[in-house]
Structure 1
């Protein structure tokens, strides 16, 4: 997984998978607060802020104060950032589709079942 993250960053517009996770909500909705992006990416607000500062330096996002509340910082993708994110998402979907096709139909059905179960277990560690 680490190798895949590094490869993605090197070959797909300079974005790492953690950065994609942070930016993903912005593909659907512009001007989101830092806290919401951090929560969505499952990182702390200070970590998200550092990541966004780096992304702003690269011209991928723009940060600005909320006109309604000066304490809130809103983030939006630049045109270049939206394009980079779209390209990376497309590449990741292609890789996922190729990997999925490597399984037989029976293996695919089992894989889907097991991934749903894993998702449930990760979401609720007390479940068995």
Structure 2
């Protein structure tokens, strides 16, 4: 089945090192719903913008690569039969009710990468 990346845009990420279960409840509940529907392939929550470092030729700067009001706070990959179905699934993301947005893109290629040590990147 085709896969679609869903990028989550928000003012910042709720997933700080000191985040409580209440801070991430809407994200966790949404992930549970997608897992229960067998739609989610993988998901990553990113840490807040102040933990980001951006590399450019000859320099490293603090913060996200693009200094904008909204940043990529996380992303997940879903399986859906077509783009319309993927949009419907992504449209249930709680960030849409919380003032943020999502971007949906078809995945061209990729998957878990086998490391030289033989471990998959998903084995953490």
| Shorter-chain TM-score range | under 0.3
Give the structure with higher Rg (CA).
Answer: 1
Structure holding more strand per residue: 2
TM-score, with normalisation over the residues of structure 2?
A: 0.25
Structure holding more helix per residue: 1
